[in-house]
Amino acid sequence: MSTHELYTIPAELSTWDVEMTGAARFTWEYDDGRDRMLALYQKGKDKQWDSVKRIDWDLDVDPCDVLGVPDTTLAIYGSPLWDRMDRRQRDEVRRHNAAWQFSQFLHGEQGAMICSARIVESVPDLDSKFYAATQTMDEARHAETYARFLQEKIGLAYPINQHLKALLDSTLNDSRWDMPYLGMQVLIEGLALAAFGVMRDITTKPLPKQILAYVMQDEARHVAFGRMALRDYYRNLSDAELREREDFVIEGCHLMRDRLRGEEIWETIGLSRQESAEAMECVDRSEYLRLFRSLLFSRIVPCVKDIGLWSPRLQKAYADMGVLDMAGQSLDALMRQDEEIADRLDAERFAREEEERAEEVAETIAAGDD
């Protein structure tokens, strides 16, 4: 089935052409490069996986209860608008919220694939080119995985959100080689990692938990790659050059925050304009979404600080957004946790499968004895 048949809102074009500027850079230096970057590259090679084989696609998913979380996580829960809805309408709210979230994950992963390919082309260091090449494959696998989940398990999709599209546009349009790192590895990937983490930890459904955990295992390496490359480069930039990067970060963080509002959902499910406005008021007042938005910056803020973009002006911008306290998060500890959760999930699944196979063998032997 064509994805265009699943879109709740017509996607404007079958393709989106972004005019990209900047040079493609070759290097003739084939030495060993930076040890940490090459170690990350080796890990990227070792950790490649096949979504067809690693993920249990036979698991059922209720499209109207994708994550198995309480309705209190919905912004309109408990409002007069929610109280007026019947069961069918509430099911539609749940389904469309999940479809919108996973659609933006999908579009973000395609953007990450294109940005990492752009990094291969433009970054001057060979070790960075090596790692970005493995990331391009990772992002292709993630886009494949989310596309299959939307098509087979939810049956709905949303076009790319205007705020995510704007950030991708400005990231790819910049001719400076470090901007795809900053826009994608730090901002988009950092926010995606945090969103995946919240959903991975609260879902009670095994299939989305597998998908989110395995994707996060890759994404943690991607953020580490961005930190490593940009930290080295930004040490040598002038104050004016750093200020330009900080302006980009501030604008990008506002776009990332605003894209979480999901205003396109409400009219799509058949609410009137007045009801849609009522729903958006609930979104803006929701204490759960306020906390969720704050948690989404748990990966971005410490990463921005770590790469050297930490002027009083940038700190004030984060304070105004209510996320400055996220600067104390340990990115290394979070990355280790992401790795451990995915490995533990694998171990539990394979142990369970071995146990089931042993029971089948025992039953077969017992049947033969009878």
The residue among 344 and 17 whose pLDDT is bigger is: 344
pLDDT of amino acid 137: 96
pLDDT for position 62: 97
Max Cα distance, the chain (Å)? 84
Domains, the chain, ordered by start: 3-10+34-333 (1.10.620.20)
- Listed in sequence order, the DSSP H helices in the chain are 35-46, 51-54, 80-84, 87-122, 126-149, 162-173, 179-180, 189-202, 206-234, 239-258, 264-268, 273-285, 287-295, 300-306, 312-321, 331-369
In the structure, what pLDDT confidence band is assigned to residue 156 with cuts at 50, 70 and 90? very high
More confident residue, 81 or 123: 81
Find the mean pLDDT for residues 266-283. Answer: 92
Cα atoms found within 13 Å of the Cα of residue 158, Cβ hemisphere only: 25
The pLDDT assigned to 306 comes to 93
The more confident residue out of 41 and 72 is: 72
pLDDT of residue 316 exceeding 90, the answer is yes
Answer with the residue of higher pLDDT: 90 or 164: 90
**pLDDT tier, 367 (very low <50, low <70, confident <90, very high otherwise):** low
Tell me: pLDDT of 21 over 80.
Answer: no
More confident residue, 129 or 62: 62
Closest CA to 242 of 312, 165, 324: 312
pLDDT for the residue numbered 312: 94
**Residues 178-221 pLDDT 10s:** 988 898 888 888 888 888 999 999 999 999 999 999 999 998 88
Whole-number pLDDT of residue 181: 86
Averaged pLDDT, 89-114? 94
Residue 259 contacts residue 188 (beta carbons within 8 Å): no
The pLDDT assigned to 254 comes to 85
Residue 358 above 80 pLDDT? no
The predicted structure's pLDDT at residue 369:
65
Q: Which pLDDT belongs to residue 221?
A: 85
Categorize the per-residue pLDDT at 1 as very low, low, confident or very high, splitting at 50, 70 and 90.
Answer: low
HSE value, Cβ hemisphere, 13 Å, CA-based, for 351: 6
Over the chain, what is the mean pLDDT?
88
255 confidence band (pLDDT: 50, 70, 90): confident
- Rounded Cα distance, 225 and 87, in Å: 46
Alpha-carbon Rg for the chain, nearest whole angstrom, is: 22
Confidence (pLDDT) at 356: 66
For the cut 70, the answer to whether the pLDDT of residue 177 exceeds it is yes
pLDDT at site 363: 65
Asked whether residue 365 carries a pLDDT value surpassing 70, the answer given is no
Count of other CB atoms within 10 angstroms of residue 330: 10
| Res 154: pLDDT | 96
To the nearest whole percent, how much of the chain has pLDDT over 90? 51
Which two structure tokens, joined as six digits, stand for 65?
């209860």
Residue 95: phi and psi, rounded to 5, are -65, -45
